[in-house]
Amino acid sequence: MRSHKEQLTEVCAAVEPGGSLLIGVDIPKDEAILDAAYNDRAGVTAGFNKNLLVRIARELDSDVEPDEFEHLAFYNREAGRVEMHLRSRRDQQVRVNGETFAFEAGETIHTECSYKYDQMQFREMAERAGFRHEQVWQDSRDLFQVHYCSVPD
């Protein structure tokens, strides 16, 4: 898996000199806010996460039963990210494209990482990738930033 710096370096190389990048960045915040967002009562995030299994069942000749997995999301403070997983509710075997995968009850499929960067962390990463950091905007609740970066001529 490529790092975010490596991904930004690839984007920078693809943008012509004088071009720019406008990118949204989720910033670190209280864990209670993150938990409420990624484990929302309406189940929107869980539905998004479990849709991966729905698509596997539909598109990859699979017998996976999405309801046999539950959504799990938590903040990994050490890594600076929210991790999303799908946790097997029971011991089971799932067939995908002719291969069988065994899951023990409680075993997870790690489906997503949502990293959180403060303004300086992102600025430094963008500059190491070759961008010139031009401007940043932040919402009034200090939850999210939009960074404008350019590629030097």
- Report d(CA 52, CA 109) in Å as an integer: 11
pLDDT of residue 2: 77
Q: 38-61 as b/e, with b when 16 or more CB fall inside 10 Å?
A: bbeeeeebbeebbebbeebbeeee
Model confidence over 85-103: pLDDT tens digits? 999 999 999 999 999 999 9
Model confidence over 105-142: pLDDT tens digits? 999 999 999 999 999 999 999 999 999 999 999 999 98
The dihedral formed by the CA atoms of 106, 112, 117 and 121, expressed in degrees to the nearest 10: 110
Domains of the chain in start order, with CATH, are 1-27+117-153 (3.40.50.150), 33-115 (no CATH)
Half-sphere exposure of 15 (CA within 13 A, CB side): 21
Model confidence over 53-73: pLDDT tens digits? 999 999 999 999 999 999 999
